């Protein structure tokens, strides 16, 4: 089977001055993930490798450099899902985990559960040797400054101008036909302590079913949860008959994955009245991305092996 990889670094109003950092992070993450797949490695290792690069890069709202919550802490959420077994490993509201994707993977592989949160998740990390860190080391100065301005004034988008950043995600298919999807985030700026968004929730911020495809979402979590967007995409990939009557006669024919991604974003706007985006691979590895924000940071490996990177 031909391997395939698509990743994202969030759908937001990415300002011009942040574009280069986003592109650089996406390129490095594609390189790491593709290195695994190209040499016949496993999809789970490829999504992990790509997500770790993005978590470590402060340009994105995941791992180091995440937005701070109302109390001034970084609280992280992540999920990884196996398209063969439909089992997921997810964690939420952790504050001392350097790479949340590693903890999500430990939950997937070493527990009978699908999701652990807060203190229980961190205890599991300690017991299974997942690298921990001090809460301080996850904080980037830029985020502390933005948080202070939000506290003095009211929380406002202007305080984040120049460094609006987004959740990260990856979907990979390997030569053996294994399909994995993953998402990792620091959530929204000035969120209430304990708030969990769509990202680590199975079916909302992530889903993988080897019979249909894999999806990772980004954007306004409260809206994405309302329409269970990742599962919506998978259901449309499974049975796309509902999409066909809605095509305009003179519209350019779209690939099925692209029609599905577009339909999900339309639904997010029409039914949840909000913004976001998603990336996906169908079960054969055909990629698609869609968003209704000004920009989305994402990239995938083209059939010839070259990287397509946006914005």
Residues that bind ligand ASP (CB under 6 A): 10, 61, 166-167, 185, 187-188, 197-199, 218-219, 221
Active-site residue 188, yes or no?
Answer: no
Determine the 3-state secondary structure of 122 from DSSP: helix
CB of 178 to ligand ASP, least distance (A): 25
Nearer to ligand ASP, 25 or 41 (CB): 25
| 122 Cβ contact list (under 8 Å, min separation 6) | 94, 95, 96, 97, 132
Token reading at 106: 């430990």
Token reading at 11: 């759908």
Catalytic residue chosen out of the listed positions 137, 167, 185, 275: 167
CB of 5 to ligand ASP, least distance (A): 20
Q: Beta strand pairing status for 295-301 and 4-12?
A: antiparallel
Nearer to ligand ASP, 40 or 194 (CB): 194
For the chain, state the CA radius of gyration.
18
Nearer to ligand ASP, 223 or 285 (CB): 223
Nearer to ligand ASP, 99 or 199 (CB): 199
CB of 159 to ligand ASP, least distance (A): 16
| 112 Cβ contact list (under 8 Å, min separation 6) | none
Q: Specify the residue for token string 């809206």.
A: 223
CB of 192 to ligand ASP, least distance (A): 12
Active site residues: 167
């Amino acid at each position: 089977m031909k391997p395939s990889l698509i990743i994202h670094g969030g759908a937001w109003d990415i300002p011009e001055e942040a574009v280069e950092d986003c592109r650089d992070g996406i390129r490095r993450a594609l390189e790491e993930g593709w290195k695994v797949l190209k040499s016949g490695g496993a999809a789970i290792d490829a999504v992990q490798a790509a997500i770790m690069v993005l978590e470590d890069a402060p340009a994105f709202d995941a791992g180091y450099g995440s937005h701070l919550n109302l109390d001034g802490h970084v609280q992280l959420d992540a999920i990884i899902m196996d398209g063969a077994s439909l089992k997921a490993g997810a964690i939420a509201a952790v504050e001392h985990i350097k790479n949340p994707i590693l903890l999500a993977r430990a939950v997937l592989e070493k527990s009978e559960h699908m999701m652990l949160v807060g203190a229980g998740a961190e205890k599991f990390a300690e017991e299974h040797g997942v690298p921990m860190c001090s809460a301080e080391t996850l904080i980037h100065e830029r985020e502390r400054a933005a948080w202070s301005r939000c506290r003095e004034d009211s929380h406002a988008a202007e305080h984040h101008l120049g460094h609006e950043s987004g959740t990260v995600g990856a979907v990979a298919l390997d030569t053996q036909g294994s399909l994995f999807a993953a998402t990792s985030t620091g959530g929204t700026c000035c969120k209430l302590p304990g708030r969990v968004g769509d990202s680590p929730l199975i079916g909302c911020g992530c889903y993988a079913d080897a019979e249909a495809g894999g999806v990772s979402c980004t954007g306004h979590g409260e809206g994405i949860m309302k329409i269970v967007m990742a599962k919506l995409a998978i259901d449309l990939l499974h049975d796309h008959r509902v999409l066909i009557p809605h095509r305009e006669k003179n519209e350019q024919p779209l690939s099925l994955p692209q029609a599905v991604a577009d339909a999900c974003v339309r639904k997010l706007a029409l039914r949840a009245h909000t913004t976001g985006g998603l990336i996906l691979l169908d079960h054969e590895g055909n990629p698609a991305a869609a968003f209704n924000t000004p920009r989305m940071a994402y990239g995938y490996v083209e059939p010839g092996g070259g990287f397509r990177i946006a914005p």
